[in-house]
Amino acid sequence: MSLQSYPPMPASEPGLRPAKESTVAPAIEVRKLSISFEEHAVLDNVSFRVREGETKVILGESASGKTVLIKLISGLIKPDSGKVFIFGKEITPLSEDELMSIRKDIGVVFQESALFDSLSVLENVAYRLHEEGGHSETEIEERVSEVLGFVGLEQTMNLMPSDLSGGMKRRVSIARALITHPKIILYDEPTAGLDPLTGRTIVELILRLRDLEGVSSVLVTHRLTDAFTVASERFQDPNGEASRPRLKGRSQQRAELLTSFVVLKNGGVFFDGSEEELLAAQKQQPFIREFLS
């Protein structure tokens, strides 16, 4: 995993960069979002913000509307009411054509990877570049091998998605989302169904993107280990060195600035706050206690 040629980092000092405070528009804001399917209210009045550079971990039982929320944030479906803002721009009233330009800034990693199975790994990852047009084949191949290197899968370039394991598919899917360096990445249960070790490599990718690239993200998961890893660990070595990243153990206060939690329950936001607050709330709230245990 080499990061050498991966895009230049934001100017600020990598180790000490807190998520930006509210002086600038948040990367993502959802305001009073409600949506129902066939009379069944899936999300009801959901509001939260994701600051620039922050990772928002969304926890919730299955069928609590996590995937629906991801689709709403990326504008793939429209809410019944409420608003979504991306870098301060309201996207809810936009037409599909107008949304296309907003989506350039958003990478989505779908629950089941959703790789195009008629295209090779190379073509999957290069998809956005092909769509944009104006890139030479050599440039495309270079950029693809760069991001595939980033997710540790350089050698799979010419395989088809059906040749890959579940964990590799997820990583290719992350690479596909990354190719144009979006400022926001939405992960829908990126570690679901993977063994802990493979899951760990994916969580490390998420950390890398947050800590070294300053990507704002929403991480939907129901694996608590992943959620707490994201909250408590961070990359401090911008060069990423060799294969194993040097994760500087528990430097909680700082990581906390970069990670916060939302717990969804019965369609609403049941909890919104830092890891510390979540652990504190656990003592009072039986639901969270049950959920976290």
Partner 1 sequence: MNDLLDVILGAFLNVVIEVQQYTFHVIRSFANLFRGPRYLGDTLVQMDVIGVGSLLIICLTGFFTGAVLAMQSAKSLESFGAVGLTGQLVAVSLVRELGPVLSALMVAGRNASGMASEIGSMVVSDQILAMRALGTDPSKKLSTPRLVATVTMLPVLTAIADFIGIFGGYIVSRFLLHISSALYWSTVYHNLSYNDLLEGLLKPFIFGAIIATVGCHCGFRTYGGTQGVGRSTTQAVVAASILIITVDAVITRIVLVFLR
- Contact residues: Mg ion, CB under 5 A: 67
Contact status: 95 vs ligand ADP (CB under 6 A) = no
- Report d(CA 253, CA 269) in Å as an integer: 24
Contact status: 68 vs ligand ADP (CB under 6 A) = yes
Please state the three-class secondary structure of 79-148 as a single string.
CCEEEEEECCEECCCCCHHHHHHHHCCEEEECCCCCCCCCCCHHHHHCHHHHHHCCCCHHHHHHHHHHHH
Number of residues assigned to the chain: 293
Contact status: 149 vs ligand ADP (CB under 6 A) = no
Distance from CA of residue 293 to its chain's centroid? 24
Region 169-198 residues binding partner 1, contact defined as CB under 8 A = 176
Contact status: 140 vs partner 1 (CB under 8 A) = no
- Report d(CA 269, CA 58) in Å as an integer: 10
Region 76-95 residues binding partner 1, contact defined as CB under 8 A = 76
**Residue nearer to ligand ADP on the CB measure, 68 or 227:** 68
Torsion of CA 97, 102, 105, 111, to 10 degrees: -70
Name the segment binding partner 1 (CB under 8 A); options: 49-57, 106-114, 234-242, 266-274.
106-114
Give me the least distance between CB of 279 and ligand ADP, in Å please: 23
Name the segment binding partner 1 (CB under 8 A); options: 3-11, 15-23, 110-118, 259-267.
110-118
Among 26, 53, 65, 107, binds ligand ADP (CB under 6 A): 65
Contact status: 103 vs partner 1 (CB under 8 A) = yes
Contact status: 98 vs partner 1 (CB under 8 A) = no
Give me the least distance between CB of 267 and ligand ADP, in Å please: 9
Among 1, 50, 91, 106, binds partner 1 (CB under 8 A): 106
Tell me how crowded residue 241 is: count the other CB atoms within 10 A of its CB.
Answer: 12
Among 20, 51, 56, 66, binds ligand ADP (CB under 6 A): 66
Residues in touch with ligand ADP (CB under 6 A): 37, 42, 60, 62-68
